Chains A and B, each alone.
Chain A
Amino acid sequence: MTKILLVEDDEMNRDMLSRRLLKRDYEVVIATDGEQGVAMAGSENPDLILMDMSLPGIDGWTATRQVKSDDATRSIPVIALTAHAMAGDREKALEAGCDDFDTKPVELKRLLGKIEALLGNG
């Protein structure tokens, strides 16, 4: 089963997304802030990380950079999730090392498509 690490601080978002992913037969592990996210990327070794960009503590970009700079976790594809549909955010995300990004509110079909795309290649 594909393991997805979801790094999201908002409870409702977390709840909605994880439940929907679970329904689609993904294994979901959760981190509630950036630091935890980075740590769990190393410890859980997920197949994909969904990283919310607006996190307390270290933000999503920093967390992604950390993940991408660690050899152990570098290869894990990261999809950035951002509430703002700003191309600036997108660039920033890509610059930080994200492999793709999507906007919130999540359109599940779209997101699933992106996940599958990345997992298919990975």
Chain B
Amino acid sequence: MSGSPDARPGAGGGTGANGRRRQAALLRLSTAIAAAEEETEICHAVADGLYDEALGYDFAAVLLVDGATGDRVLVASRGRADAPQGLHVKPGVGLSERPLLDGRLHYTPKVTQDTRYLPTRNEGSEVDLPLLVNRELVGVLVVESDRPDAFGPEDFEILQAAANQTGIAIGRARLLAAAQRRADEEEALRATMSDLSSQLELSTLLQSVLERAVGLLGVSHGELAIFEPSSQDLVVVAGHNVGEKETIGTRMAIGEGAMGHVARTHEPLVIPNYREWDGRSEQYEQVEFVSVMVAPLLIGGRLVGALAFMDKDPDRVFGDEDLRLLNLFARHAAIAIDNARLFTAERRRASEQQALLDTLKDLSGELELSKVLHGVLERAVTLLQVAGGELATWDPVRQDLEIVASHNMGTNAVGTRMALGEGAMGRVAETSEPLVIPRYQEWISRSEKYTQSVVQTVMAVPLLIGSRLVGVIAAVHSEPDREFGEDDQRLLELFAPQAAIAIENARLFTESRRQKQYFEELVRNSPVAIVTLDTSHNVVSCNPAFEELFGYAGDEIRGRNLDDLITTPETRVDAMGYTQQALARNSVEIISQRRRKDGRLLDVEVLGVPVLVDGKPEGLMALYHDITELLQAREDAESANRAKSQFLANMSHELRTPLNAIIGYSEMLAEDLADEGDGEHVPDLEKIGTAGKHLLSLINEILDLSKIEAGKMELYLERFDADAALEEVMATIDPVASQNGNELVLNRDGPVGEIRSDAVKFRQILLNLLSNACKFTEDGRVTLEAVRSTGGDVLPDRLTLSIRDTGIGMNEEQLGRLFEAFSQADVSTTRKFGGTGLGLVISRRFARMMGGDIEVTSTPGEGSVFTVTLPAEVAEQAVPEVDAIGPETESAELTQALLSASGPGTAGTILVIDDDPGTHDLLRRALSREGYRVEGAPDGESGLARIRELRPDAIILDVRMPRMDGWSVLSTLRADPDLSTIPVIVLSMLDDRNVGYALGAADYLTKPVDARQLVATLSRFCPDREAPILLVEDDSDARERVRRVLERDGWKVEEAGNGREALALLPDLQPQLVVLDLMMPEMDGFELAARMKADARWRALPVLVLSALDLSAEQRQRLSGSVDVIMQKGGSELEELLPEIRSLLDSARSSAEAESTRPERNPE
């Protein structure tokens, strides 16, 4: 029932003094409202102010609406003693509800019982006004009078104004309060943040976050739980005043209890009466609190935990504001938890790395394998915080695992072996994959050997290097609840490669130490004396054999210079040289003398090799072989041989003398008897004479052969008329021939002429062969054919003498045995034909000594042909066939070998530089046979001098020489532009080819030298000095200059003044190369070149153009194809001329060779 605002004079109306008192009261009201800061205070001020006597109201009250329930709550009142503060007036009750419904002032002029909310009042009038804060209805202002109809329009104005003011004031107060609260929140948050930054120990942090929240919310209880992903449980980590029961550590499954619920729903939840909530967890049966507000902690949708606030006050109703705060804290707590987790994870990683570093530091210095293994295992166990662990290594030979380290495992399983696939470690070894077994005791593949009953959980990880298994490491736990999470696995996996490497290193070290010991044992036990030196030639170590050989104890010579200790004054310098040479990467092999500690001299064979580490010489190893006895034996053998030869030589005289008598006297007697006419006894005497002569020839042959074998047979060379010698031989053989009825014929294709040879041997060979022919032919013919063949310009003349018979001939087998000493074709032959069987052997030896040979062909029943080939000019000092290169010998022999002149030398001049006379002999023989002139030098220095004098076509250089070795000679040569064009062939016993080539050797041959190979090599390098170089140049001065250069280098030079002249000269001269000027009268170089190209005879002739012209591209084009090299005059062309010529000739020769060796093509 609403009243109308009639203008009736009510209590408090009118003007004048009343009016002024009213005004004052209103002013006081305003002031009081303005002064009040806090909401309740404002309400009280309003109620008090309106109750002012001046205004005449009997009751004023402020009721504010409770947002949650919709009740009107009596916040402040004045005028009735029975109006209790905090009284809730339910909706639907009381007049004061009406403004709330329509937002307007309501006047009830007459109140009745029904409409009252306070039972004691029964009449009066009432005004109810809405209180608006920012147009929001927040409450009601109730003003009552005991008299009905007590309010008029003036009152309505006043009260409306008061209500407005109140609304404004309350609005302001609420803002203030909100601001304050925000400030408080921020403060709390800031404190939380500072907690975060200062306190990363998660549980402490969470506890303080919780406490702040509890404080801010004004609740009695709070709990915070973290979500554990591994177990999928919520674990309470912070709690505030949850009661007697300590809930920290309580686990709840998702869905269990309030926190479990929000963990599942991801939504906050308010439970007004927890005790009646059916989702209640058993763990939370007995609790003090009633109302619960719980929210999940989420980071980006991911559950991190749950936060719950509870209050024991049943009336504590959690409103929106609380929820807002809850969510705020939830967010921050979630972040805090995540950050702290991250940090923990970081810190954990950091401590992992640190642990690893420590492990590595420990282990890197440790090469003792078992220490490494134990170290690794202990570290792993500590870091993982497990109960214990085991480490097994993989044995690739036996293909199983052996437990090598054990930590805290109860029984020590070290030594146990497990097969592939057996047990946890065996399985891991098989798969090379890590393995976690949560409940080991129940695992079916558990090994029987694993008697460790304490083991509950096992994590095993393979130790791999690359993909190769080195071992397995296993960590175990005895607590049933301890599980191996990702972190543990990851940690162990981080360890595993490091452990594998550490183990492998230790293993390698052990292995290399073993090998070192093995090698040291070898050296120690070797019967060969071995000593190692450093780069200063000081002794590093020596073996017992060395100590014994030289009489020094290892300790006393360590650090001392070896050459000082064991060389003699004579050998000292050379020895030092050899040591140096060996250190320079060349190994050295010599025979020399050394001295023992007691002064006794030893003959030793020394082998020195450098010790290279990473290609650099770090020292030298020398092996000594005592050859004193060997040398003595050789000496003995040689002196025995000499004695034998001497004996034979002596015997020769002794043997011949009686024979002389036998032969002489029997002859004499025969003569005498013949003269006296007593022919009867003559045959007998002749038999004696014949027998004696036969015996004499036997003795001679034996002596000859022994001389040859002793190497004492010499050649005595002289020039003589070969034709006369042949005729004389024929005359001598004639009687022998007629004896068997044989015809003897000498065939010559013209005179043989003069030869230089050993006349006696020449005769002996022929006599031997002819008499054999006569002996084995009856009534037949024996022909001696003599032919002299010229070898042209290059090769020397040769003599070919063939002795042909029509005798009994020989079969293959007989031919094979022909030249064996003392084996005639067969025994019956001896009986029938006589002879010693030595003649052929000796003849062939003689022939070979002279640089020739004897060959035979035969047809049984038809006859034989023996062919002797000999050089027409036998080379001086041909030595018996000894190819081996001996050790260092006296220089006298060497000088001897070198002093003698050499062969004819049409093929070229060769200088041999070698300290070994044997090499000189061998090379001289081999090469002069081929027509080379061979000169020699015994060492590097004299060699170099000789090169300058001689300007040889090629140099054969031995590497191993004392004082200045071959390499030094080579480098000196190469450095001298004058000499560097001379090709050098290096000879050595070693194969150091690359060094040779690198130093500029043209070719490299190893000793013993294959003469054929040498000759082939030389022919590549030795130019043809016979065929001239044709120089075509019109300017005579220029011609002169070039001629001089060429001739000085040993070339024959012919000249032509222009192209036409040159063309005319070509057929006769047959030059091997043309040096061509371009600008010439009559026919210029261009035309000559073209003409030569067009002529098949000269097409292949190499042409070198030497012209002052600066050629244009067109001109070059003209010349290309007909000219090989173009050189510009006016520069340094003369220096470059010689090498160019040589290389041109070289390539011309190689292509010519290639042409000639190309197989014939079948015509298609």
Interface, chain A (partner B; CB < 8 A):
10, 12-13, 16-17, 19-20, 23, 54, 83-88, 91, 104-106, 108
Contact = CB atoms under 8 A, between A and B. Distances in A.
A87 B758 contact: yes
Chain B interface secondary structure, helix, strand, loop or mixed? helix
B668 A19 contact: yes
Nearest to B758: A87
A12 B660 contact: yes
B718 A16 contact: no
Contacts of A106: 664
Contacts of A108: 667
A12 B667 CA distance: 13
14 contacts: A12-B660, A12-B665, A17-B664, A19-B668, A54-B653, A83-B656, A87-B718, A87-B759, A91-B716, A105-B656, A105-B664, A105-B696, A106-B664, A108-B667
B657 interface: yes
Interface string B670-692: 01100100000000000000000
A91 B719 CA distance: 13
Nearest to A104: B660
Contacts of B758: 87
Contact of A20 (B653, B671, B714): B671
B657 A12 contact: yes
A109 B760 CA distance: 20
Contacts, number: 48
A87 B716 contact: yes
Contact size range, B: 20 to 34
B401 interface: no
Contacts of B659: 105
Contact of B760 (A10, A54, A86): A86
A23 B760 contact: no
Chain A interface secondary structure, helix, strand, loop or mixed? helix
B661 interface: yes
Given A20-B671, A23-B671, A85 B760 contact: yes
A17 to B, nearest CB: 8
A88 B668 CA distance: 30
Contacts of A54: 653
Interface of B: 652-653, 656-657, 659-661, 663-665, 667-668, 671-672, 675, 696, 714, 716, 718, 758-760
A106 B664 CA distance: 8
A19 to B, nearest CB: 6
A84 B665 CA distance: 20
Going nearest first, the 3 A-B pairs with the smallest beta carbon separation are: A87-B716, A16-B664, A12-B661
B660 to A, nearest CB: 4
A87 B657 CA distance: 20
A16 B657 contact: no
A86 B660 contact: no
Given A20-B671, A84-B652, 12 more contacts: A12-B657, A13-B660, A16-B660, A16-B661, A16-B668, A23-B672, A83-B653, A87-B759, A91-B718, A105-B659, A105-B696, A106-B664
Nearest to A16: B664
B716 A86 contact: yes
A102 to B, nearest CB: 13
Nearest to A13: B660
Nearest to B664: A16
B661 to A, nearest CB: 4
A101 B653 CA distance: 18
Contacts of A12: 657, 660-661, 664-665
Nearest to B763: A85
B300 to A, nearest CB: 119
A16 B759 CA distance: 29
A19 B659 CA distance: 18
A9 B667 CA distance: 21
Contact of A13 (B664, B667, B718, B759): B664
B665 A16 contact: yes
Nearest to A88: B716
Contacts of B653: 54, 83
Nearest to B659: A105
Contacts of B675: 23
A45 B990 CA distance: 71
Nearest to A12: B661
Nearest to A10: B657
A13 B671 CA distance: 17
A105 B760 contact: no
Contacts of B663: 105
Residue from B668, B714, B718 whose CB has the most chain A CB atoms within 10 Å: B668
Contacts of A10: 657
A105 to B, nearest CB: 4
A91 B714 CA distance: 14
A30 B718 CA distance: 35
Nearest to B658: A12
A106 B668 CA distance: 12
A105 B759 contact: no
Residue from B664, B665, B714, B716 whose CB has the most chain A CB atoms within 10 Å: B664
A88 B760 CA distance: 10
A111 to B, nearest CB: 12
Contacts of B759: 87
B732 to A, nearest CB: 10
Residue from B659, B660, B663 whose CB has the most chain A CB atoms within 10 Å: B660
Contact of A105 (B660, B714, B716): B660
Contacts of B716: 86-88, 91
A104 B653 CA distance: 11
